[in-house]
Structure 1
């Protein structure tokens, strides 16, 4: 098994084999919490106009995501796992668009298969890759708005790679490093309304969920499918 760590949209476009699109803070952590709340299907899209169209055509869908970290106008939720986790949700389908994670899915045009990546289901991702044993694994770190690499996505990729190759990781040290760098914004009171501190802790809850989120394509749309591993 050959494991590559790649970065940003260019990395997604060049990724091959089993491709893990990693967005820890917060898209694919939020997606896991949404499935745990009873959501049955997530439609990840890169184009926000497509997200609005899907919502218009399907008023019962929930529209979640962010631009510049904040909830866009007309969206039901932002990109906060806290807000999803605390909400009463009766809808079964979500349309999700973000500045990083869903852009990675849209750009992974050479992948054999695509799954999402985060710490909250890292163990399930590792188990899935071990079971399927692909020749090539591409761990794509989407970074901040696809603009620059971030500690949380890079360290998540390193954690997955280490586990697959039988090397230890010091997860508490990783969490502290993330908290002191790219995760520091979650501890700023000025961002509490859209990026609460609790988001950081929820996203760092290692192996909370025992499922992966795999991308399936139906027609022109991608869907995230929950698969228990």
Structure 2
């Protein structure tokens, strides 16, 4: 298996084979918590105007996501897993737009197959990749708002690659580095309303879920399909 790690939108555009679009803080962690909470379908969209349009046409849909990390006007939830834990999600359809992860999905146009990447379902991702046994595996780290690489996404790519190649990897060391580095923003008092400290722990709850989220297409929209492992 040829495993390559890519970064940001250019990386998404280069991705081939089975592609994992990675957004640990927080898009694809949020998506996992949403499905676990009972959401029936998630439409990941890149453009916020499209998200508003879909919501206007389907008022019963949940509008979830962020711009500049905060919940946009009119959204039901921000891009926060802790918010979803107490939300009424069962049977709902969710429209999800973010600055990083959902952008990767819509730009990975050369991929044969796309799944999402987060630590909360890392073990399931590894099992799924082994099951599919692709010739090429692309691990695409979407970084911070697609502007620059982020440690959390790169760490997950390195973690997945190491596990697939039967190499040692120290997840605890990654968590500690994130706590005082890229994840330190979750511990700033004035940011707790939209980036609470509990989100840090929820996004790094390794192997909490035993399913992957596969990207499918329906007419002009992508949607995420939950596949139990």
Cα offsets for 1:181-220 (capped at 9, x unmatched): 1100000011000000000000000000000000000111
Taking the TM superposition and a 5 Å limit, the aligned residue runs for 1:68-217 are 68-217=68-217
1:222 equivalent to 2:222? Answer yes
Distance in 2 of aligned mates of 1:89 and 1:226: 15
Cα deviation, residue 88, structure 1: 2.6
State the secondary structure of the residue aligned to 1:111. coil
Cα distance, 1:87 vs. partner? Answer: 1.8
**Aligned partners of 2:40 and 2:90 also within 8 Å:** no
**Corresponding residue SS for 1:194:** coil
Q: Contact conserved, 1:18 with 1:114, CA < 8 A, in 2?
A: yes
RMSD of the TM alignment (CA)?
Answer: 0.6
* Contact 1:82–1:202, Cα closer than 8 Å, also in 2: yes
User: How many angstroms apart in 2 are the aligned matches of 1:202 and 1:170?
Assistant: 19
User: Displaced runs of 4+ in structure 1, greater than 6 A?
Assistant: none
Spell out, residue by residue over 1:93-124, the C-alpha distance to the aligned partner (whole angstroms, 9 max, x if none): 00000000000001000000000000000000
State the distance in 2 between where 1:129 and 1:87 align: 32
The CA distance in 1 between the partners of 2:90 and 2:101, in whole Å, is 25
Match of 1:41 in 2: 41
Instruction: Supply the distance in 1 between the matched residues of 2:177 and 2:74 (Cα, whole angstroms).
Output: 35
* Deviation digits for residues 61-109 of structure 1 (CA, Å, limit 9, x no counterpart): 0000000000000000000000001223245200000000000001000
Gaps of 5+ in 1: none
8 Å CA contact 1:23–1:153 kept in 2: the answer is yes
Q: Which has the higher mean CA deviation after the structures are superposed, 78-87 or 95-104?
A: 78-87
Asked whether the 8 Å contact 2:21–2:139 carries over to 1, the reply is yes
1:13-72 C-alpha deviation (Å, 9 max, x unpaired)? 010000000000000000000000000100000000000000000011000000000000
Gaps of 5+ in 2: none
Residues of 1 paired with 2:100 and 2:164: CA distance?
25
Task: Give the TM-score taking structure 1 as reference length.
Answer: 0.99
SS in 1 for 2:3: strand
